[in-house]
């Protein structure tokens, strides 16, 4: 009988410890939410990798701005708007591909160091991207090797659209007062792309070269818009 009583007492102590731990966690959460306002400010960002890649000889030029809301220094809903374009010619195949169109992404970041009171953080996040665009392809005439004859190759105003998702991780650090910099490393998965009977797009604005999945990187130049005291807080 005695061992049973001891076991029950032990279970009771364990239950008390568990509930205390849970209470502590909730209290910690409440303390955090009580100590700082939910709205912590707005960040304006531009990506430097897109223009940089093009400047160093890349085929694609992508310019992008983003607006990010800081909630509790923990959650960062973000909207990214960009313009992607290419006007490329392949020297081997002599094909010329041209397109330019805006693209949009929405998503959020989560600051994994939200408890630390310092002006920089490490984050993980996701994006959903969409673009609708037209493209042209020109090339040398197609020569029939068996039946003879040739066919000019000009495809114009082919309509397409694409929908994709991105998972990302990144870091950001303060450079000077309200200016921050940081990079994000992204894994992109194409959910859907519209092909025509005559072509599948080679370049998708905002996504990059057409593929099922790919990696991407951004280097963000961030301006923390002063908003009450929040500009100084984090």
Partner 1 sequence: MKSASGRLLVASVCALVLCMMACESNDCMLSSESYCSMAFVNGQGKAVKLQDTLTVSSTADVVIINRKLGATGMDVPLSYTALVDTFFLQYNSRLADTLWVEHQNLPYFSSMDCGTVMHYKLQGVRTTNNLIDSVRITDSEVTNMLKHNVKIYFTVND
Of 142, 146, 161, nearest in space to 201 by CA? 161
- Least separation in angstroms between CB 136 and partner 1: 10
Residue 34 binds partner 1, judged by CB under 8 A: no
Residues 42-81 that bind partner 1 (CB under 8 A): 49, 53
Count of residues in contact with partner 1, rule CB under 8 A: 41
Residue 174 binds partner 1, judged by CB under 8 A: yes
Burial (CB count within 10 angstroms: exposed 0-12, middle 13-18, buried 19+), residue 88: middle
Which residue's CB is nearer to partner 1, number 104 or number 178? 178
Residue 168 binds partner 1, judged by CB under 8 A: no
Q: Which of 21, 26, 65, 173 binds partner 1 (CB under 8 A)?
A: 173
- Alpha carbon distance 44, 222 (integer Å): 6
- Alpha carbon distance 152, 137 (integer Å): 12
- For the beta carbon of residue 181, count every other beta carbon within 10 angstroms: 17
- For the chain, the C-alpha Rg in angstroms (whole number) is 26
Q: Which of 2, 34, 118, 145 binds partner 1 (CB under 8 A)?
A: 145
Q: What is the dihedral of CA 18, 22, 28, 30, to 10 degrees?
A: -150
**Would you tell me which residues interact with partner 1 (CB under 8 A)?**
49, 53, 88, 90, 92-93, 95, 97, 120, 137, 139, 142, 144-151, 153, 155, 171, 173-175, 181-183, 185, 197-200, 202, 209-210, 215-217, 219
């Amino acid at each position: 009988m005695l061992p049973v009583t001891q076991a029950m007492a032990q279970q009771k102590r364990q239950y008390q410890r568990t509930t205390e731990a849970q209470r502590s966690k909730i209290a910690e959460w409440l303390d955090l939410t009580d100590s700082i306002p939910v709205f912590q400010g707005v960040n304006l960002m531009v990506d430097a990798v897109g223009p940089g890649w093009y400047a160093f000889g890349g085929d694609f030029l992508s310019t992008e701005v983003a607006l990010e809301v800081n909630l509790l220094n923990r959650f960062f809903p973000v909207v990214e708007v960009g313009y992607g374009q290419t006007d490329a010619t392949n020297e081997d195949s002599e094909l010329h591909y041209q397109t330019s169109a805006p693209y949009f992404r929405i998503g959020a970041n989560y600051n994994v160091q939200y408890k630390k009171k310092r002006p920089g953080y490490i984050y993980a996040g996701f994006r959903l991207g969409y673009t609708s665009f037209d493209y042209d392809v020109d090339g040398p005439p197609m020569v029939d090797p068996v039946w003879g004859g040739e066919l000019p190759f000009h495809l114009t105003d082919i309509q397409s659209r694409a929908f994709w998702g991105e998972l990302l991780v990144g870091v950001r650090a303060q450079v000077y007062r309200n200016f921050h910099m940081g990079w994000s490393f992204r894994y992109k998965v194409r959910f859907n792309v519209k092909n025509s009977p005559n072509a599948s797009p080679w370049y998708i604005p905002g996504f990059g070269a057409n593929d099922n999945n790919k990696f991407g990187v951004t280097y963000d130049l961030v301006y923390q818009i002063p908003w009450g005291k929040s500009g100084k807080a984090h």
